[in-house]
Structure 1
Amino acid sequence: MSSVDWEKDDPFEEQRDKIENPMKRLFLVYGRDYAFPVTVGILASIFARLLDLLPPLMLGIAIDAVFREDAVFSEQIPLVLLPEAWLPATQTEQFWFLIAAIAGAFFFGAAFHWVRNWGFNAFAQNIQHDIRSDTYDQMQRLNMNFFSDKQTGEMMSILSNDVNRLERFLNDGMNSLFRMSVMVVGIGVLLFWINWQLALVALLPVPVIAGFTYVFIKIIQPKYAEVRSTVGKMNSRLENNLGGIQVIKSSHTEEYESDRVDDVSMDYFDANWDAIETRIKFFPALRVLAGIGFVITFIIGGLWVFQDAPPGPFTGELSVGMFVVFILYTQRFIWPMAQFGQIINMYQRARASSARIFGLMDEPSKLEQNPDATELVVDDGEVVYDDVTFGYDDEEIIKNVDFTVEGGDTLALVGPTGAGKSTVLKLLLRMYDVDEGSIRIDDQNVSDVTLRSLRRSLGYVGQSSYLFYGTVKENITYGTFDATDEEVVEAAKAAEAHDFIQNLPDGYDTMVGERGVKLSGGQRQRVTIARAVLKDPDILILDEATSDVDTETEMLIQRSLDELTENRTTFAIAHRLSTIKDADTILVLEGGEVVERGTHDELLENNGLYAHLWGVQAGEIDELPQEFIDRAQERTARVLEDAESDDD
């Protein structure tokens, strides 16, 4: 794939576009389990904010009734719902009463703020954990087609960045939403109680702010979706380059790769800056609207205080203390309205992230497990491929493959690159499901048994010896976690791995590094084989199991594998034909079809494709027919063409 096309492609766009109301789904599916902490947080937020409104009111009462004595103290207090008998009579007592009320508001407000933070954090953290776990669980159950089309960095971006963005909204965003809602409603009620006419003036900017915010939402939503997409692409490029750093260095392509990273980083910069420009224009404009409302309120209220009610619809009196309270409340009312855009901003980011998360969760897996699936029981280990056909995207890869392996026999699959050998065995593992035909183990269709029991009965050693970050022992026991130390050592000996493991700095407790980078290719392969030996499967699959070892080590491993495969149904793929010449049956594949079958000697006598492949490895190139060479050139050209189309 060219860098330009790759960067423009969003592999999750199709999944994302199918999701409707992702935030509603988030709260209904995941929020329901944590209703208690969020309810506690909401209630605590309400009480905390109501207590925050008390000090300004007490200040106004102090100005009018205590300091200026322009009002009767008891007439100013009913709002706080205290009986008149509880109210102090002298000026000094009234002063200290107000001080106590203000101090109490701050103290209890702080306690409610702590409870509020606990509730919202517990709500957000639990949902974050559940979503990340569920997304990963769903992702690892998808068939291999999905992973062949997606970049690892894209999936890491969803599991990390998108899930974290949800957590920030559920904690900070929702916290701020309820805080501002309580402030707006509470202050609105107080403003109308103090002076409903002046309150209408203070609220004039609200409809304009609401309309402005609506336009902002429509503009910013697609911009944030683009930002999330470019983050995933950037992560994919970085993950690819870091994983292939050895190739980059050996090819001296550091400058080329730096340019490619610069390109995807610039795509992210452009998308993010586009969203930032929209955001930084929106918030100052909101502040201007809020400021205009505040100035108008200050002018009219100020004139009202020292010149009586302004001309027009205004009537009645406005005291100095209530004017001060009104101005303080108006400021607290207008700024939350302006900050509401920040909540919308966080919401839109969270919505874009949740759409990607649920898009990945809803990705249909072609591996539909039968709800009535039974446990696989292997007795003889007979495997039957009955006219099996399989393909990707309407292109047939395996065509009418038909064979039977008797229990305890070894079947070898050989053929040129791209013939479909590995795919045939991945169908047995149900990495994919067949399109036509069936695969049976001891007369049990693999589609009718549980995946767990199927894969527990199969041992797979692939051509890519993948090791997890951890110790040698942890990698050998992966999948057989209850194995004893003695069993681990025996498995390592069977794989000819024990000697080199003992020579490692910490023996079986040596850390292998990410993907086993601290071990050689041959050492990784032997650890992988030891893992399969320890599992002691009913059926063994060897897919180029000795491809990364030298000839001498291969001989030693082959000797151990001969003991392992004795009386065990075994499938083996090998380009080194010498390793499978003793197989009970050899299938020769070309173009996804079985073109020859038989024993090693029988196939050599047929003088067909197998005999020619044997001749290549025996160095008898001059004796090969021209037809075989022409077909080999065609196959090579086709493989290269397919690889280029995959890159595109």
Structure 2
Amino acid sequence: MAKTSNKKREPFFSAKDKDNLHWFWHGYLKHKVGMMLLVLLMIIVQGLVYQQFLAKTESGLRVIFESGTVRDLIMISFFVFFLFVVRGAMSYLVPLVAVRMSSDVVFRMRSDLIKHLMILDLAYFERTKSGEIIHKLGGQSQKLGFFVGISTANAVRDLVTVLIVSGYLIYKNWILFSSALVVLPFIMWIMNHVSARVRKAQNEVELAAIENMSNIEETISSMRTVKISAQEDKEIDRLTEGSNRLRGLSVHMQRIQALVSPSIDLSSAVVYVMVIGGGGYMVLSPNYDVDSAGIITFLLGLVMVFDPARLLGQYFSSMQSNLVTLDRVRSLYSEDSSIKDAPNAGTEFDTSGDITLKDVVFSYDPEQPLFNGLNMNFEGGKVSAIVGATGSGKTTVLSLLTRLYDVKGGEITVGGGKVDELKIKSLRSAFSVVAQDIVIFNKSIWENIKYVNREATDEQIWQAAENAEIADLMRKRGDTAVGPKGAQLSGGQKQRIAIARAFLSDAPILLLDEATSALDQATEARIKTALTRLTNGRTTIVVAHRLSSIADADQIYVMESGGLFEQGTHDELLEVNGLYAQLYNAQRSGYNGKKG
């Protein structure tokens, strides 16, 4: 007994597709109704041109086949030429208006995507491949714009042409036209069969494209390591493999979509044979008022119907892939930030007060807790330092203070105000950060420093550069861009730009996360006075690996495995002879060994 398949074919438009289309219409297309009506009007004119062309062609054939006059033939020829002029004008204007409309849609969509990206928390960017984000902002939104603009305008033109010309053919000979409907169920079956396969193939293509783009981005950003380790061949193989997989999937999808055209062409051949046979019989039979001019015109009309019908088939096939793309673009909006302003969040707090962590619980992974009841207090107006081994949680403390992440338990206060009861923008504007990972833009050093304060005066920018020991290089380079991610700068030069930004932002709380890690001892010594001036009167928290740089701190916290191991001043910790003393002595002996 044969098994019956319980697999149900998906509808052409799923519930999710309808919801996505509804969102796209109300968000980006509804306000373009005027332009769409203008495009539709021009398309209708094109359709009427085709209908009139058929009518005048039939009249011209009768003039030739029957006893017409040369004058009538000339008049018909001029009218047909005029029709083609009108058609040419519409063919120029329709895509022009459609492209303008689609370009605006793409611009608004990208703007909204960028705005939404900016409100997402840091965790989203840490778990999402950069290639996926770039693909949504670039390729996918552009693809949707082209589909909505040119592709859809052409599809509407083809549909209007099919309807108007079909209506005319029905009017001329409904019996012959009825024979064309015989193949309609077959065409619908092909479309339904292809659409499901296209949707599946497009999903695979999108995933492969994201993976390939992410690999390219990783390779480019890691090119220094690739070159130093002589791994060019390996990267060539890796990127080629990804491109080859993408090529294979794209060819596979095109192969599926290619079923549409020959299916419609085969159906057209069947209809043409039926019309030629049936129409020829009508011409020969005295029972029908059909002549040769009428049959030739009818066949010409079928050509005008089946060619746009074939293009319509391709459009509905590609629609499936674009529905997948639309769903992926919209999926970005399903991402929500977990870091939000409380309903009654305030903006005022004592930025000069103590910063306190009380019984703080936090983890990046629920199965691997980092902090479990962490308590720390950073006195206002003083310099506090956090030291410890890699992975002990030093930088995480700074991330929690600025609400890049929220605590899972306990509380953090600044000047007595809970950070989760303050507006995020107000809280973060109170901090100036010199981080270990420095963001450098492909602009001049001047522009890179000014980035943190667009209202800064020239004098303020120069003063910040002088304080950070980067002014001489800024004069030398002038307006020259520093390359992608500051590729033309050394690590120390990048660090000094970050320090100059801290001078320029002039925030009351200063966070230094390995701020001098890329500087040699001599350079660090040169800017030590500037850093001392910068920290004067500010609440400063320093995360440092080089313990000699924080020996003058008012309080030092030593962390180990997510917990507070010991605390005190430099001298107090050395006297205790605990973990801090071991780390300090190990660094000092290591430095002296290199020096010797």
State the TM bucket, normalised to the shorter chain: over 0.9
2:346 pairs with one of 354, 374, 387: 374
Any stretches of 5+ residues in structure 1 without a counterpart? 1-16, 71-89, 310-314, 622-648
**Matching residue within 238, 243, 257 for 1:260:** 238
CA spacing shift, 1:438–1:39, aligned 2, 3 Å = farther
Question: Match of 2:459?
Answer: 486
Within 5 Å, which residues of 2 pair with 1:532-611? 532-611=502-581
Between the aligned partners of 2:90 and 2:309, the Cα distance in structure 1 is 23
Aligned partners of 2:28 and 2:344: how far apart in 1? 28
Query: Are residue 461 (structure 1) and residue 438 (structure 2) matched?
Result: no
Q: Name the CA distance, whole Å, in 1 between partners of 2:41 and 2:358.
A: 65
> SS where residue 370 of structure 2 aligns?
strand
What CA distance in whole angstroms lies between the structure 2 residues aligned with 1:92 and 1:373? 87
> Which of 387, 391, 399 is 2:372 aligned to?
399
1:55 aligns with 2:53: yes
CA apart distance, 1:35: 2.2
Aligned match of 2:64 in 67, 73, 85? 67
Q: Does 1:160 align with 2:138?
A: yes
Deviation of 1:18 after TM superposition, in Å, equals: 8.5
Q: Given the alignment, which residue of 131, 147, 150 partners 2:109?
A: 131
User: Equivalent of 1:270, from 248, 268, 291?
Assistant: 248
Question: C-alpha displacement at 1:618, in angstroms?
Answer: 1.6
Partner of 2:259: helix, strand, or coil?
Answer: helix
What pairs with 1:624-635 in structure 2 (closer than 5 Å)?
none
Give yes or no for contact 2:46–2:161 (8 Å, CA) kept in 1: no
Seen in structure 2, the aligned counterparts of structure 1 residues 464 and 197 have a Cα distance that, compared at 3 Å, is: same
TM-score (ref. length: structure 2) = 0.92
How many residues are aligned here?
A: 577
Q: Quick one: which amino acid aligns to residue 167 of structure 1?
A: G
Q: Could you say which residue in structure 1 is the equivalent of 2:411?
A: 438
In 2, Cα distance between equivalents of 1:581 and 1:33: 63
- Secondary structure at 1:595's aligned position in 2? strand
Secondary structure, in 3 states, of the residue corresponding to 1:387? strand
CA RMSD of superposed structures (Å) = 2.2
Deviation at 1:377, TM superposition (A): 4.1
Structure 2 CA distance for partners of 1:392 and 1:119, relative to 1, 3 Å: same
Confirm or deny: 8 A CA contact 2:194 2:259 kept in the other structure.
Answer: no
Matched AA of 2:266 = V
Shift of 1:620: 7.6
Runs of 4+ off more than 6 Å: 17-20
Contact 1:52 1:106 in 2 (8 A): no
Are 1:31 and 2:29 matched, yes or no?
Answer: yes
TM superposition shift of 1:93: 5.6
Residue equivalent to 2:299: 327
How much has 1:122 moved relative to structure 2? 2.2
Given that residues 173 and 347 in structure 1 are in contact (C-alpha distance below 8 angstroms), is that contact kept between their aligned partners in structure 2? no
Q: For residue 62 of structure 1, what is the amino acid of its counterpart?
A: G
The equivalent position to 1:502 in structure 2, one of 475, 478, 482, is 475
What amino acid is aligned across from residue 64 of structure 2 in structure 1? F
1:121 aligned partner: 99
User: Structure 1 residues 529, 51: CA separation in 2 closer, same or farther (over 3 Å shift)?
Assistant: same
- Corresponding residue number in structure 1 for 2:331: 359
Deviations 1:304-358 (A, max 9, x none): 22x127xxxxx62212222222111111111222222220233122212111111
Q: One-letter code of the match for 1:39? A: L
Paired amino acid for 1:25: W
Q: Does residue 591 of structure 2 align to residue 618 of structure 1?
A: no
Contact map agreement 1:381 1:538 (CA 8 A) in 2: no
Q: Which residue of 1 aligns with 2:10?
A: none
In the alignment, the residues of structure 2 paired with residue 271 and residue 50 of structure 1 have an alpha-carbon distance, to the nearest angstrom, of 41
CA deviations over 1:366-413 (Å, ceiling 9, x no partner): 112224333244442432222222112313222322222222111111
Letter in 1 for 2:483: G
The answer on whether the counterparts of 2:362 and 2:371 sit within 8 Å (CA) in structure 1 is: yes
Deviation at 1:91, TM superposition (A): 4.6
Q: String of CA shifts for 1:551-601, please: whole Å, max 9, x gaps.
A: 111112222111000000111100001111111111111111112121111
Query: Where does the alignment leave 5 or more consecutive residues of structure 2 unmatched?
Result: 1-14, 592-596
Measured in 1, the distance between the counterparts of 2:76 and 2:70 equals 10
Q: Tell me the equivalent position of 2:278.
A: 300
Alignment of 1:189-208 (within 5 A): 189-208=167-186
* Alignment counterpart, residue 448 of structure 2, candidates 441, 459, 475: 475
| Identical columns (%) | 30
Counterparts in 2 of 1:348 and 1:359: CA distance versus 1, 3 Å: same
Provide the secondary structure at the position in 2 that maps to 1:188: helix
Deviations 1:42-82 (A, max 9, x none): 22212222223311211102222x33447xxxxxxxxxxxx
Report if the CA contact (8 A) 1:41-1:116 is conserved: yes
Distance 1:475 1:93 in 2: 77
The CA distance in 2 between the partners of 1:160 and 1:603, in whole Å, is 54
Given that 1:37 and 1:122 are in contact with CA atoms closer than 8 Å, whether structure 2 keeps it comes out as no
Question: In structure 1, what is the Cα distance between the partners aligned to 2:32 and 2:402?
Answer: 39
> Which deviates the most, 582-591 or 434-443?
434-443
C-alpha displacement of 1:519: 0.9
Could you say which residue in structure 2 is the equivalent of 1:287?
A: 265
Q: 2:355, 2:378 within 8 Å by CA — same for their partners in 1? A: yes
Give the TM-score normalised by the residue count of structure 1: 0.85
Structure 1 residues 588 and 207: CA distance shift in structure 2, 3 A = same
